[in-house]
Amino acid sequence: MADMALMTPRRLSTKAVRSREAKLRMAGVIALHAVIILGAIAMFFPFLWTIITSLTPGASLTNTPALIPANPSLGAYQQLFAERPFAQVILNSLTLAVITTVVQLVTSSTAAYAFSRLPFRGQTAVFGVYLATMMIPLQVLIVPLFAELKTFGLLDTYLGAVLPTFASAFGIFLLRQAINQVPRELDEAATLDGAGHFRIFTRIILPNIRPAIATLVVFAFMGSWNSFLWPLVVLRSPELQTLPIALAGLQGQYTSQWDVIMAGSVISVLPMLALYIFAQKYVIQGVASSGIK
């Protein structure tokens, strides 16, 4: 009886400790979710403010629009397409983004396969030098690229706008990391069956690195879609303008129609939002598998 009397307080003490730990874990989970929700609200609010401003006629930066516009209107969107060739501008940006994405997929995947599966002398040094080009900002390269394109007569052309973006050091690095994680035993088995490098690349490597490919698609498309400086330098004709340049042209020197500007901003965000939502699962897997933090 005495032993049972001694064990009962211990059991009660153990239960109390476990209950306290469970409450602390629950409090930690609640606090974590609260921080995540607040962060999501903070990141989403600028986009919400943009949408509200685009629906508020005569909105300005000095008069903050209400969260629920009193007289919401789509007049800014109608004015945007009526007064400017905005549909052509969107088509220009979409064309350049698609071309850039497709070409980068081809060049990055083939180069990544070579760096991963075709060893050659100085491979590590060449790959390191190639990655070092990621540290060179575009502003440093604008003058020599401009002179080169002028020599070849490619100024004010789509080809001149996309040619410098055909090769991507980031894309090669991303896909090489993904290819390195594909077991080489699959290559050896395919080789025994008579498969060459092209068949191994298309039938084995590419299907196994789909998350990394989806990640590169999002980054390549986003980089081209949001590109401003290089198209501004190369494309001179108004009919060749891209979306970022057209949006910058909406802002006047003295007065600006902020509802129209925000309408254009909303339109510019929608394609990227749709692309990311579609490829979200693969992007997360690709970033995790490639070791990028």
Rounded percentage of the chain residues whose pLDDT exceeds 90: 18
- Residue 112 is encoded by which pair of tokens? 């990544």
Q: How many CA atoms lie within 13 A of 7 on its CB side?
A: 4
% helix, strand, coil for the chain, step of 5? 80, 0, 20
Task: Check whether 6 has a pLDDT greater than 50.
Answer: no
CA distance 284 to 282: 5
Q: How far apart (Å, rounded) are the C-alpha atoms in residues 160 and 242?
A: 14
Tokens matching residue 10: 């211990």
Q: Is the pLDDT of residue 14 over 70?
A: yes
List CB contacts of 191: < 8 A, sequence separation 6 or more: 200
Give pLDDT, residue 186: 87
DSSP reduced 3-state for 235:
coil
How far is CA 156 from its chain centroid? 27
- Could you tell me the residue ranges of all domains in the chain? 1-54, 76-290
Local confidence band at 54 (pLDDT 50, 70, 90 cut-offs): confident
Residue among 84, 87, 95, 96 at smallest CA distance from 230: 96
Q: Specify burial of residue 172 (Cβ count, 10 A radius: 0-12, 13-18, 19+).
A: buried
**What is the mean pLDDT of the segment spanning 176-202?**
88
Q: What is the pLDDT of residue 64?
A: 62
User: Per-residue pLDDT tens for 235-293?
Assistant: 888 888 898 988 888 876 446 778 888 888 888 888 888 887 877 776 666 555 544 44
pLDDT of residue 197: 86
Write the class of the CATH domain 76-290: mainly alpha
pLDDT at 219 over 80: yes
pLDDT reading at 9 higher than 80: no
Spell out a b/e string for 230-250, using b for 16 or more CB atoms within 10 Å of the CB, else e.
Answer: bbebbbeeeebbbbbbbbeeb
Angle between helices 86-117 and 169-180 (to 10 degrees): 50
The region of weakest confidence among 60-64, 90-94, 255-259 is 60-64
How many residues comprise the chain? Answer: 293
Give residue 112's pLDDT band: very low, low, confident or very high (50, 70, 90).
very high
Least trusted range by pLDDT, from 4-18, 76-90, 153-167, 182-196: 4-18
How much is the pLDDT for 292?
A: 46
7 pLDDT higher than 70: no
Q: Which amino acid is at 190?
A: A
pLDDT attached to residue 134: 85
* Residue 59 scores a pLDDT above 50: yes
Mean pLDDT of 71-99: 87
The Cα 157–Cα 177 span in angstroms is: 34
pLDDT at 285: 63
Q: Cβ distance 245 to 203 under 8 Å?
A: no
Predicted confidence at residue 61, as pLDDT, reads 64
Q: In this model, does residue 102 exceed pLDDT 90?
A: yes
Amino acid at 73: S
List the Cα angle 242/248/253 in 5-degree steps: 150
